[in-house]
Amino acid sequence: MPRLLRSTEINLQQRLEYLSRAIMCVKSGEIGGSSSGGIGVGELLHDLEEKMEVARVQLSIVEALEQLQQQRGTTVASDEGVTAQEALSRLNAELLDISQLYQDFASPFRLWECQLAILRCAGHHDPPLVQSVWDNVLEGELARTETLPAGSRVAAVAGKLRQLARIYAGSQKYFPLGENGGITNFVDFGKRETRLTT
């Protein structure tokens, strides 16, 4: 299995499928402690589930980069000059660790929602960083919707908030509701835009 996860002959989607199958095999008892390299079944399952969670984040980065390329219709480059196409090739070539995903892709390409997913996946609690990411999510959504009429803009921003709330509302660490929290900024925007349209 480790060899398959590092092989350049398969893409990221295939790696996710292999991980999923491996998890099912371990859960069903098809793989025992002795056939898994000497580690216990529980440890193997935990390791595979962690790899799967990171691989899903990696897939979300691939999807975000593909969407960014599609929206802009031009060559997209990171702050370091790496093109999205080069990044996609690397992301599909191997499973990367969560730090690499943040440092090499989510941060330089300014993929704010992916950064939030990485922080949660890593269990990294840094309130100023989480706040900054939420502020950037809001700014990005406002920029994306700036040409829409006010009512449509409020609906689009509210839709984004609902989408992210389904993912992060269970954790105050990544869904800041404080006085100056990112979520409060979304709500304040909605109230302000609603007053302008009435």
Q: Residue 86 above 90 pLDDT?
A: yes
Q: How far, in Å, CA of 181 to CA of 179, rounded?
A: 6
At 77 the three-state DSSP class reads: strand
What are the pLDDT digits (tens) for 143-158?
A: 989 999 999 999 998 8
Alpha carbon distances (Å) from 80 to 72, 99, 114, 126, 177: 18, 17, 18, 24, 33
End-to-end CA distance of the chain: 60
What number of CA atoms fall less than 13 Å from residue 120's CA on the CB side? 22
Q: Take residue 4 and report the two structure tokens written for it.
A: 């398959």
- Determine the pLDDT at residue 184: 58
What number of CA atoms fall less than 13 Å from residue 94's CA on the CB side? 11
What are the pLDDT digits (tens) for 160-183?
A: 989 999 999 888 889 887 655 556
Q: Residue 21 above 70 pLDDT?
A: yes
- Determine the pLDDT at residue 72: 80
Mean pLDDT of the chain: 84
The identity of residue 86, as a single letter, is E
- Calculate ∠ Cα 69-109-156, nearest 5°: 65
Quick check: 136 and 110 in contact, CB under 8 A? yes
- For the segment 111-132, the average pLDDT, to the nearest whole number, is 94
- Determine the pLDDT at residue 166: 92
- Provide the pLDDT confidence category of residue 71 given band limits of 50, 70 and 90: confident
Quick check: 3 and 10 in contact, CB under 8 A? no
What are the pLDDT digits (tens) for 40-66?
A: 788 989 999 999 999 999 999 999 999
* Helix runs in the chain, H state only: 2-6, 12-28, 41-72, 84-93, 98-100, 112-122, 127-144, 150-168, 182-197
Q: Residue 35 above 80 pLDDT?
A: no
The sign one gets for the Cα dihedral 64, 68, 70, 74 is negative
What global pTM score does this model have?
0.79
Q: Lowest mean pLDDT of 68-72, 127-131, 191-195, name the range.
A: 191-195
